[in-house]
Structure 1
Amino acid sequence: MTYDYYDDPPRDLPTMHWAMLMLVCQRWRNIALHTPRLWRVVYVTANLDALKLQLARSCPATIDLFFKPPTSLLENAMPILLKEAHRIRTVSQCENFVVGRIKGLARVDFHMLGHMKPLFSCPLPALETIVISPDDPEDEHSEPFDLELTEERVPRIRKFACSRIRYPSSPTFWSSLRELRIGIQHNVQHPSLVDDVLHILSHAPELEILQLPDLGGTVRNPVPPPPMTCASETAVLRHLRTIKMCGPHDPSFVGAILQHIRVPVVRQYRIEVNVSDGAEIEHLVRQILLPAARDLVSIVEELYFTTNHREVSISNQDNRFWLAMKFQSRSSRNMFTISAFDVLCHALQDGPLKFLRFDHRDCSDSDVIPPHLWQTFLATCTSLHTVQFSYTNLPFIRSMLDALLIPVEGVPTSRPRNIAIWNPSDVYDSLYTHDLVEHLLNVGRSRASANLKLGVTLDMEHDLQYHPRFWPYHRAPSFKMHRWSLLALADQCNLGFRFKDSRNDMSFTALFDAEELGQLLTDRGEGSRCDCWS
């Protein structure tokens, strides 16, 4: 039978809703009763009679075991299960909490692993899936439980999703592996963990899905990760298409793994790490982004930088590429944005990237990307069409505009074609607005001088200044005083416009009084009306 693997979301616990169809007619009932594959999902619960019935109905098909009974009942069920060991395809706990609560199932207890061990001590020729993530042991520093898994007894494992158990050391045990999911704990550091993961990856050439979720726990006395003792050879995983390491993890742990694998066909890359103060940000970024994510990043068409007060994330339009880094200090956070931008210049060389967005919501103090780095990025991303700034501070925006004013071989750069600025932060008064419009106007004139097109979208509002004891609000400075600069900008480029002045949206024509508007139409002619006037 073909085993299906899914990237996301994980499969719920199988159900037997089809059993109600047996009530339709006698023929459907007979079909259901005599189709063993329909009965292959076996719940190991307190009801041993139901267990025997399901095992009988499913014979001779392979079976999927989902269980946690009390320990005493497991002892009663084990002799029954051992007789069917040759048919067991799956040994799993309940992964869906709601279904588990209805069925009376939950995660297995750590002490129950000892009662499950006899099941893995006999040959399991049909076993393809093992999903075991037991509750925390009483001693949080206890060693992983050894189920004594061997390739002789389990020759065709396809999915291995486990935590708190010892991983088989035999290379041939992993030769058919398609999906690997290993739970990681904060407060338990096994020196061989990185070695274990790399050992598995180096002997799993057919691996398609790699997940290292963080099981939680509190880091009481964090210590540097131990040095690796495994060989430094790179594992080439030609079928690996999904990498998920969400937690957040220690970045040195993630980097140690990603630096030793090559994944030419990866199509989903989700990483979350927690960066401490004093970390080497640039080295860390290169470890995580290169080379593992290079092939995926090189084909994205949209890229989003999202920053808040303690986290920066980079993602593409459908979140198949997603990197989130949590920081303890502002300086480390800002250094990451600049370092990541620099690294992406290498990954995006002549790629199809068309759209770039910066969203600095709840974070108006981000450091700017230097103009020279913007120049390198624009020269690298030859397909870049639009750069959008959302809730971004003005120095950050001006840095890119300054880069656009620097000619390349005597000619202004033609990228990006469109600049969208939505609700820039710290626009307190007309002085800030004037500065932004003048920068845009200089870029527009530079492009127009070389007969290059530029589109500009402005969506702004002045912050309302008021005193809580007075009503109504003091009027914010009007955008009307910038009408001639905005008109000049509209003459130089394709201008999209939405301003909010004193809590009211304003159209472009509302910036001019009737006499000025009439004179403009007379001087320019009715046919020269700007698109933004409508």
Structure 2
Amino acid sequence: MDLTTVTCRSTIEVKELAYAQIQNDIEALKESIRALKVRHNTLSMTMLLPPEILAAIFLWNAEMMRYDRKMRWTNVSHVCSWWRRIALETPSLWSRIIFNINRNWVPAMLSRSGATTLEFDMSVSDPKEVQVCKAVLSQIHRIRDLCMRQPFGSLTSLSGVILGLTKPAPLLERLLIRQEDINMPSAGNKISHFNLFRGCAPRLRTLELQGIILPLNLPALSGITTLTLRNINRFKPSLNELVEALESMKDLQTLTLRSAFAFDPQSDPNPSYFAADLPYLRSLNIRSDTISCTALLWRINCPHTANQRLAVSAPDRRVFPSLNIDEALCALGVVLREKYLDGLRCLSLSMRPAGYCMGLKAWGETGNRIQPPEQVPSLMVTLAHSNLDKLCALLLGLPLDHLESLHVKELPFDATLWRTTFGDIETLRMVHITGFIGPFLLALHHGCPIRDSNTPQKPGRPDKLCFQGLRILTGETCPDATLAWQNNTHRACLLERRKRGVGLSELYMLDIPTGTPTAAVCEPWRTVVDKVHWELHDETTNVGSYLWSDIHSDSASLEPSEGEYDEDQYEVDWEPDYYSDYDDYDDPLSYF
């Protein structure tokens, strides 16, 4: 047919024949273009790469972008037919089914993953997602990592999905269940009488529950090594139930409990009658009130724990009506001393910038003159109090008799508090102060026959000196340094202490703000201290900062390293270098 003679006024039969011929010509041109694209791609050096090398590159790219919500790692299947074929024939590339993908893609991923092990991470917010979730869980026999989330504003509950986990899971290694909205009516649902995986999950090692609680004494959970319980708002397990469950987890290595159990002193007046033995526990992380935390620590035996992190707050007076917070903190210090601190040689105290809580770290080694030991701390306690008396109450229970190094950061200790808390520790040889150093120098005056407004003793009547073992003093970022080092009374005090055999041997000052006294003012201190190291730092000219460069190193932070993952750090704008040589755009799964 001559298409030039066909017009819009032609008969329907003629136009239909013309349409068919035009469509055939279009398809032929598409085939020609596709063949040219294939020829174009064969000229590229990447076409020489073996399929297994390309598959390894695709897997590496997917792993680097595993937290990319747009799943742009699938772009490798849109470059050319050769790359697409390799991508579709690599089952492990499709084995991670994450919660942010379109649920319509899940069947395609299950099909393309073949028989390889699966990682399943999906939210359950409406009934349709529940059905998709159940479809994936039907493949529980090949799931290695299982994560289910119930987000804010969910219209359904996770309980029905969890109760369906009754088939054996021989390959499962990690189980994570999170109910993010702990205030919703179904939050904290207690699931009981539940045959999880029919007791068959021999490789299960990690269990994390948030906002929901499972029976912890199930046979499938006996071999776990990492247990995390967070924000159990309702139906919290009692202390006895928790301890009995821990006793069945003999291989436990990491335990994290955050608002996860309930301690009732009325039902359990003697919290130490039964203790769970955890011989392999290496990391302990507890966030609770002071009394509950103390009771739990009495109930677990973990002699080889290398890292303890405790965040304690004031108990609820409705639960503990006869509460004495100072006695509770002292009791916490006692249990730490008796069960978790073999030798305390280095202590670091700090106040968080918000000013609502304080923290301490304890080590079994001394560290150097600038910072505590770099090893993992043996103990870390964070107090949700801004009153220094509460921190001192906790310190009263700790074994400070052999303390050698003390690091204090931004804590407003006065001279009396310095002296009464640490002044009688004869083994204390090094004190590192970040912040105001003047009150500590005033504490050194105690017992020295020097007359000034801060020492009421009269000259000529010396008393017992405090800090008798002190030999090294380090000051960092001290805004009162100018007044302190120009004060002749402080220098006279150090001279008197030196005459009585307890003088300083080394004095270090660093990061002193602008306005520091000149070298002429600082030089007389060399007459009362054997080694004096000054950093006369000027913020405008940076003069003198090099003097400290060979010995300065940052102090260890008291903040725990939670390490939230930045899901956008692997977001990469990627454009393919080659033309696509397939044309199935009408299929919604063709891009996937």
**What TM-score bracket applies, with the shorter chain setting the length?**
0.5 to 0.7
> Match for 2:171: what amino acid?
A
Q: Does residue 253 of the first structure (1) align with residue 253 of the second (2)?
A: no
Shift of 1:241: 2.0
Q: Distance in 1 between matches of 2:360 and 2:211?
A: 32
Equivalence for 1:304: 348
Equivalence for 1:268: 307
The secondary structure found in structure 2 opposite 1:368 is helix
Shift of 1:250: 0.8
Q: Does the Cα contact within 8 Å between 1:412 and 1:446 map onto a contact in 2?
A: no
Q: Are residues 404 and 163 of structure 1, via their aligned partners in 2, closer, same or farther at CA, if it must alter by over 3 Å? A: farther
TM-score by length of 2: 0.60
> Match for 2:531: what amino acid?
N
Equivalence for 1:487: 524
Equivalence for 1:243: 284
> Match for 1:433: what amino acid?
N
Q: Distance in 1 between matches of 2:174 and 2:153?
A: 16
Q: Does the Cα contact within 8 Å between 1:371 and 1:400 map onto a contact in 2?
A: no
Shift of 1:124: 3.0
Q: Does residue 359 of the first structure (1) align with residue 409 of the second (2)?
A: yes
Equivalence for 2:554: none
Equivalence for 1:132: 177
The secondary structure found in structure 2 opposite 1:196 is helix
Q: Are residues 488 and 336 of structure 1, via their aligned partners in 2, closer, same or farther at CA, if it must alter by over 3 Å? A: closer
Shift of 1:17: 5.9
Equivalence for 1:232: 273
The secondary structure found in structure 2 opposite 1:120 is coil
The secondary structure found in structure 1 opposite 2:332 is helix
Q: Distance in 2 between matches of 1:429 and 1:45?
A: 60
The secondary structure found in structure 1 opposite 2:198 is coil
Shift of 1:153: 4.1
Equivalence for 1:419: 473
Q: Are residues 24 and 356 of structure 1, via their aligned partners in 2, closer, same or farther at CA, if it must alter by over 3 Å? A: farther
**Which of 57, 65, 75 is the matching residue for 2:112?**
57
Equivalence for 2:213: 166
Q: Are residues 25 and 232 of structure 1, via their aligned partners in 2, closer, same or farther at CA, if it must alter by over 3 Å? A: farther
Q: Does the Cα contact within 8 Å between 1:225 and 1:253 map onto a contact in 2?
A: no
Shift of 1:460: 10
Which of these two proteins has the greater Rg computed from alpha carbons?
Answer: 2
Matches within 5 A, 1:38-437: 38-43=93-98, 47-78=102-133, 80-93=135-148, 106=151, 109=154, 111-134=156-179, 135-139=181-185, 143-146=189-192, 148-150=194-196, 152-156=198-202, 157-170=204-217, 172-184=219-231, 188=233, 190=235, 192-214=237-259, 227-228=267-268, 232-246=273-287, 249-275=288-314, 278-279=324-325, 280-286=327-333, 289-291=336-338, 293-294=340-341, 303-307=347-351, 310-315=356-361, 320=377, 321-327=379-385, 330=387, 333-337=388-392, 339-340=394-395, 343-345=398-400, 355-361=405-411, 363=412, 365=414, 368-370=417-419, 373-376=422-425, 378-379=426-427, 384=429, 386-392=430-436, 394-399=438-443, 415-422=469-476, 433-437=487-491
Deviations 1:322-350 (A, max 9, x none): 3211226x3xx32523642661426x67x
Q: Does the Cα contact within 8 Å between 2:416 and 2:443 map onto a contact in 1?
A: no
* Structure 1 gap segments, 5+ residues each: 1-10, 95-104, 216-221, 465-477, 508-534
Q: Does the Cα contact within 8 Å between 1:225 and 1:252 map onto a contact in 2?
A: no
The secondary structure found in structure 2 opposite 1:90 is strand
May I ask how many residue pairs the two structures share in their alignment?
Answer: 438
Equivalence for 1:519: none
The secondary structure found in structure 1 opposite 2:281 is coil
Higher relative contact order (CA 8 A, sep 6+): 2
Deviations 1:156-194 (A, max 9, x none): 332111133333253633321111110135xx4646332
Q: Does the Cα contact within 8 Å between 1:441 and 1:488 map onto a contact in 2?
A: no
Q: Distance in 2 between matches of 1:116 and 1:151?
A: 13
Q: Distance in 1 between matches of 2:483 and 2:338?
A: 46
Deviations 1:103-160 (A, max 9, x none): xx94694842133135313333333322112122544897534482536344333211
Matches within 5 A, 1:515-530: none
Q: Distance in 2 between matches of 1:399 and 1:14?
A: 56
Q: Are residues 56 and 108 of structure 1, via their aligned partners in 2, closer, same or farther at CA, if it must alter by over 3 Å? A: farther
Q: Does the Cα contact within 8 Å between 1:251 and 1:273 map onto a contact in 2?
A: yes
Deviations 1:450-470 (A, max 9, x none): xx8701235698999xxxxxx
> Match for 1:263: what amino acid?
C
> Match for 1:325: what amino acid?
L
TM-score by length of 1: 0.66
Identity of aligned residues (%): 15
Q: Distance in 1 between matches of 2:480 and 2:264?
A: 40
Shift of 1:414: 8.6
Shift of 1:73: 0.7
> Match for 2:358: what amino acid?
V
> Match for 1:323: what amino acid?
V
> Match for 2:305: what amino acid?
V
Deviations 1:375-432 (A, max 9, x none): 43x43x6xx5x32122246444444675999xxxx99999543212346677896899
CA RMSD of aligned residues (A): 4.7
Q: Does the Cα contact within 8 Å between 1:498 and 1:505 map onto a contact in 2?
A: no
Q: Does the Cα contact within 8 Å between 2:359 and 2:382 map onto a contact in 1?
A: yes
Q: Distance in 1 between matches of 2:212 and 2:479?
A: 51
Choose 64-73 or 486-495, whichever is displaced more: 486-495
Shift of 1:92: 0.9
Q: Does the Cα contact within 8 Å between 2:95 and 2:113 map onto a contact in 1?
A: yes
Q: Does the Cα contact within 8 Å between 1:44 and 1:66 map onto a contact in 2?
A: yes
Deviations 1:437-481 (A, max 9, x none): 222222333448xxx8701235698999xxxxxxxxxxxxx979x
Equivalence for 1:496: 533
Q: Does the Cα contact within 8 Å between 1:177 and 1:206 map onto a contact in 2?
A: yes
* Structure 2 gap segments, 5+ residues each: 1-64, 316-322, 362-371, 450-463, 545-592
Q: Distance in 2 between matches of 1:505 and 1:443?
A: 35
Q: Does residue 445 of the first structure (1) align with residue 499 of the second (2)?
A: yes
The secondary structure found in structure 2 opposite 1:257 is helix
Shift of 1:294: 1.9
Q: Are residues 239 and 404 of structure 1, via their aligned partners in 2, closer, same or farther at CA, if it must alter by over 3 Å? A: farther
Q: Does the Cα contact within 8 Å between 1:111 and 1:137 map onto a contact in 2?
A: no
The secondary structure found in structure 2 opposite 1:306 is strand
Q: Does the Cα contact within 8 Å between 2:228 and 2:256 map onto a contact in 1?
A: yes
Q: Are residues 92 and 269 of structure 1, via their aligned partners in 2, closer, same or farther at CA, if it must alter by over 3 Å? A: same
Q: Are residues 401 and 232 of structure 1, via their aligned partners in 2, closer, same or farther at CA, if it must alter by over 3 Å? A: farther
Q: Does residue 455 of the first structure (1) align with residue 496 of the second (2)?
A: no
> Match for 1:238: what amino acid?
P
Choose 138-147 or 56-65, whichever is displaced more: 138-147
Shift of 1:51: 0.8
> Match for 1:184: what amino acid?
N
Shift of 1:305: 1.0
